[in-house]
Chains A and B, each alone.
Chain A
Amino acid sequence: SQTIHQWPATLVQPVGSPLSLECTVEGTSNPNLYWYRQAAGRGLQLLFYSVGIGQISSEVPQNLSASRPQDRQFILSSKKLLLSDSGFYLCAWARGSSYNEQFFGPGTRLTVL
């Protein structure tokens, strides 16, 4: 069976500090991978998606970047965090073919102070 992991579960960081959130998927190969952010009381916003190693597409301009160094690893980064980067970050995967549902990880709650 497939599983998706995210860490850390919670994170408190000062403004201007760097960020690295990691997401890994087990039990599948060549998945599509996605990063979402959910601000408090809001819906999910798609930030990045990846269809393969080294292939990253950004949905919205922002202070964050993503990388996919391995087939089942997806990393979300920032060089300098802003207060507005606070939120609940969710990683998801889907099988590569179309019209397949996405499976979400447990999320990372980031608070920037």
Chain B
Amino acid sequence: DAKTTQPTSMDCAEGRAANLPCNHSTISGNEYVYWYRQIHSQGPQYIIHGLKNNETNEMASLIITEDRKSSTLILPHATLRDTAVYYCIVMRMNNNAGNMLTFGGGTRLMVKP
């Protein structure tokens, strides 16, 4: 499985963009990058995923480098409710069971007023 490396924690001012980096230097060509977040004592919530092109949805943007060895999740205008642990996951595909997620330690994002 491709492993990911994320900073343990980050702070961000409310209203500013939060940029969360992730290194996945051993990613294979057909492996996707997924981002989830987990607010304290809740189940993880899907944010976004991508293969090689940049992606954007109503929650965030995902920027993947051309060599695919790293990516950045961008929350354009962070709010206090965005305080959570953010997990960058490289998906190991299992044809029988769909996507198999391996969660690492994640980045604890603290949005401050």
Contacts and interface: CB of A to CB of B under 8 A. Distances in A.
Interface residues of A, number: 29
Contacts of A92: 43
Interface size class on chain B is 20 to 34
Contacts, number: 65
Q: Looking at chain A's contact residues, is the secondary structure mostly helix, strand, loop, or mixed?
A: strand
Interface stretch (A68-76, A77-85, A97-105): A97-105
A57 B97 contact: yes
Given A51-B96, A98-B95, A99-B32, A106 B101 contact: no
A103 B46 contact: yes
A94 B99 contact: yes
Given A44-B44, A90-B43, A106-B43, A98 B93 contact: yes
Nearest to A106: B43
B98 A106 contact: no
Contacts of B104: 43
Contacts of A103: 46
B43 A101 contact: no
Give the secondary structure class of B's interface.
loop
A106 B42 contact: yes
B101 A46 contact: yes
A111 to B, nearest CB: 13
B94 to A, nearest CB: 8
B6 to A, nearest CB: 10
A3 interface: no
A25 to B, nearest CB: 13
A42 B87 CA distance: 11
Contacts of B42: 106-107
10 nearest CB pairs, A to B: A104-B43, A44-B103, A101-B46, A43-B103, A32-B98, A49-B97, A104-B44, A94-B98, A90-B43, A43-B104
